[in-house]
Each structure stands twice: as C-alpha cells, then as structure tokens.
C-alpha cells in the first residue's frame, strides 16, 4: 500500500479493510453515535464543475462475465461488474440529475472515516455530479477512456475526473471491480463488500499482482461489451473503437499498465500514484505512450516506490513522469472534495488545486495521444501549475 500523508485520508482508504469481508451483502448500519463536525457545511456536496464545452450524460450498466469464476467469491454467478458511463451531450440537454452514489455505497465509504450520521451520508449520496441520466450523446464518435479506482475505493470516487473528461469529448467508463470496494450496489437490492480486502490484509498486501491481473481481465470484458458486435450500452455507437485509453488511481493505475500489456486495443495509459505489481514484457507496451502522475513525496525518481523506476526503464513508447508537490495519495480522486465537505483535513495541496492539476494533465495526455493534438503542457513546467515537477531520469 502507498504511504498516505494524512490520517483522515488513511481512514477513508481503510474503510474497506475495516469491513466484515465474509459476506457479499452488507449488513444494516449499526446504531452507533453519529460523528459530526460543527463547522461542516449542511448543504449538498458539490463536485467541481466540468471545464469542457459539452454537457455530460450518465448511464449505469450491470455486466456479468459468466465465462470466469470470480476469484474472490468463487460461488458467485460469474464475475459481476458495475460500470458508469459518462459521455458528452449537448450543452443544454435536459435530464434527471445523476446521483453520485447509492445511500448504502455512501454509508459504507464514510463508515471508515468515521462519519456515520444520516445527514452526511445523504449529502454525499446526493452530491451534485453535473451530469444527467441517459440523455442523448453529442453527435459524432468519441474516444473511450476506462477508469479503475484505488483498492477498496468505489468507482464513484473518480467521478470528478470522469465528468470533466466527458465534458471535453470523451466517453468514460468507470468500473467497480466486484468485491474490491467498500461497497458496490448491484441490482436486486444487494451490496457487494470488499472480500478482497480481507485476503490482501491476511497476506500482508503482498499479492497485488492478483488484483491487477483480475482488473486487466475485467477491462478486457468491459471493452468487449462496449465495442463488440452486440454492445451492452444503448449509445455505444458514439464510441470511437480505434481510440481507447485507460487511467486509474492507486492499484487501478497499476492495472492500467497490466491491461495494456494484455490488450492491444488500449492505446494509452495513466497511472495516478499506484505501485506497479507486474513486470512488463521485453517490448514494454509495444511503443504505446504512458503517463506516471504521482505524489512528489513518494514517487519522485529514487523515491519510496522503486517500482516506478523499474517500470519507467521498461516503457518503450513516449513516456511522461510527473509528480505533484503537496499532493497526498488520495489527492488524485474525489477524496479532497469529500473530506473538505465533511470538515476533515486532506493533503497539503488544497482540494481545488488537486482537482485542477489532475484534470489538466490527464486530459492533456489523452488529447495528445488519443486525438493527436499537441499539448505544450506535457513539454515541461508550466507557471499555471507550479506544483507539477517533470522528471526525465
């Protein structure tokens, strides 16, 4: 596990490993005293507004891969995945606001902070996402980006990035990998909890390659279902199948390189502060580009995570190694916004800056490598983003 720089952030990540992992269905909330902060705002939580020219639509898919046995719960009926699609829509397309999370998903996430009062849970579940449910997509075909969250974290914790990429013209598929998050609501009133967390804890977090391998297979299956001859999504015709990228946070970022090594359809990848678990083949990623974007404290060259130095040397295509001064491990997700709303401390980098930096560099990377648009932002330090450091070891 990566080193986290704030106790509150560590607690948020630890929510998954603290959960009972012996059942696939979460139990009702226990009647413990609510934890509140006097200066915590009472209003609905708001994610930062997207920056692109498009409105944003949102669809949720429930997919089951019955060709595989679930590695964490073998008795399950196949490998079960929840996917949220964010996509570009006409700017003023009306529609029902998309929720951030289900009430149970929000409760399970916040349980580990711990913030368990019903008001906080409701505020997070109903957070303003700046997207509308199932509205028609904007005309044309758009590049596809797959997002994989950190271990123990649900897919909705990357919503801020997903919505922004969609507003810039990307279809974004955010994955919940079954039994690997604090809580994933699935049809039938069930909630899948983090069975994999107990396994990893029992094995002293030494089996990360099992997670990245499972996620690579999950990604392949989702790409098949979105771009194959009988797609699972009603608006799949809006996806440009020839332009596909993948990004992830923490072990989700490590999974991006694993998925690329296993699937040539993925043209470009991003790892946001994740330790690499897999060794690349001799040809690296076959010349495909990759972005390393992480905390300066832990992921600078020769820093605490030597897997970045090893993987960097193995990459054979265009590569970028950037670190963000003051960012903590969860600063590349929605955690700074959630923690700030709850009145809890986050990293040294303010939430607004963490969001801005992550959005800017991930979008620039995909704009350059999926759209062929030259991005000077990737060439070197930029005065608008003084926190970002470039490394070329």
Determine the pLDDT at residue 201.
86
Determine if residue 196 is left, alpha or beta; phi over 0 gives left, psi from -120 to 50 gives alpha, anything else beta. Answer: alpha
Low-confidence ranges of the chain (pLDDT < 50): 1-41
Can you give the pLDDT at residue 277? 94
Q: Residue 92: its pLDDT value, please?
A: 75
Distances (CA, A) of 22 to 114, 117, 202, 203, 305: 21, 25, 13, 16, 32
Question: Per residue in 81-116, pLDDT tens?
Answer: 999 999 999 877 788 999 999 999 999 999 878 887
Q: What are phi and psi of 192, to 5 degrees?
A: -85, 130
The domains found in the chain, sorted by start residue, are 58-391 (3.40.50.1820)
* Short-list 273, 255, 299, CA closest to 391: 299
Our CA angle for 150, 151, 153, nearest 5°, is 65
Rounded to 5°, the CA angle 217-98-104 comes to 70
Q: Which residues contact residue 303 at a Cβ distance below 8 angstroms, ignoring those fewer than 6 apart?
A: 297
Exposed e or buried b for every residue in 318-339, given b needs 16+ CB within 10 A? ebbbbbbebbbbbbbbbbbbbb
Q: How far apart are CA 119 and CA 180, in angstroms?
A: 26
Please state the φ and ψ torsions of residue 175, each to the nearest 5 degrees.
Answer: -105, 135
Would you state the pLDDT for residue 42?
57
Reported pTM: 0.89
Output the six-digit token pair for 116: 């368990």
pLDDT of residue 207: 79
pLDDT for the residue 94: 80
Give the CA distances from residue 114 to residues 26, 37, 122, 156, 380, in Å, rounded to whole numbers and listed in that order: 17, 11, 15, 19, 40
SS3 per-residue string spanning 175-213: EEECCCECCEEECCCEEECCHHHHHHHHCCCCCHHHHHH
Instruction: Return the ∠ at Cα 78 (arms to 74 and 81), rounded to 5°.
Output: 110
Peptide bond into 114 cis (omega under 30): yes
Q: Residue 170 CA to chain centroid, in angstroms?
A: 15
The pLDDT assigned to 242 comes to 97
Nearest to 240 by CA among 327, 169, 343: 169
């Amino acid at each position: 596990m990566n080193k986290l720089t704030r106790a509150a952030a560590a607690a948020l990540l630890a929510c998954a490993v603290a959960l009972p992992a012996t059942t696939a269905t979460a139990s009702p909330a226990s009647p413990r005293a609510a934890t509140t902060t006097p200066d915590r705002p009472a209003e609905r939580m708001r994610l930062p507004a997207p920056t692109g020219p498009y409105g944003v639509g949102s669809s949720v898919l429930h997919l089951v891969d019955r060709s595989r046995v679930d590695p964490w719960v073998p008795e399950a009926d196949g490998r079960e995945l929840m996917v949220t699609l964010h996509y570009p829509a006409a700017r003023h397309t009306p529609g029902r606001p998309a929720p951030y999370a289900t009430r149970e998903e929000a409760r399970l996430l916040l349980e580990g902070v711990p913030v368990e009062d019903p008001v906080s849970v409701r505020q997070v579940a109903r957070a303003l996402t700046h997207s509308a449910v199932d509205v028609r997509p904007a005309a044309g075909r758009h590049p596809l980006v797959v997002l994989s969250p950190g271990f123990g974290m649900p897919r909705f914790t990357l919503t801020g990035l997903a919505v922004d990429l969609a507003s810039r013209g990307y279809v974004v598929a955010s994955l919940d990998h079954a039994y690997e998050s604090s809580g994933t609501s699935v049809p039938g009133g069930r909630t899948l909890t983090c069975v994999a967390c107990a396994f990893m804890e029992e094995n002293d977090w030494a089996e990360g390659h099992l997670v990245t391998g499972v996620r690579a297979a999950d990604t392949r299956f989702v790409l098949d279902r979105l771009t194959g001859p009988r797609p699972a999504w009603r608006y799949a015709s809006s996806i440009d199948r020839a332009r596909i990228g993948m990004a992830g946070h923490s072990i989700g970022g490590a999974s991006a390189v694993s998925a690329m090594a296993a699937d040539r359809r993925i043209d470009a990848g991003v790892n946001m502060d994740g330790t690499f678990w897999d060794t690349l083949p001799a040809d690296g990623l076959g010349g495909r580009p990759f972005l390393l974007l992480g905390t300066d404290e832990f992921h600078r060259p020769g820093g605490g995570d030597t897997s970045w130095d090893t993987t960097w040397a193995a990459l054979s295509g265009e590569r970028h190694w950037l670190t963000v001064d003051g960012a903590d491990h969860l600063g590349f997700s929605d955690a700074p916004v959630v923690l700030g709303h709850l009145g809890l401390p986050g990293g040294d980098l303010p939430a607004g800056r963490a969001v801005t930096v992550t959005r800017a560099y991930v979008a620039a990377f995909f704009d350059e490598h999926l759209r062929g648009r030259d991005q000077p932002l990737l060439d070197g330090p930029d005065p608008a983003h003084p926190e970002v450091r470039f490394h070329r070891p």
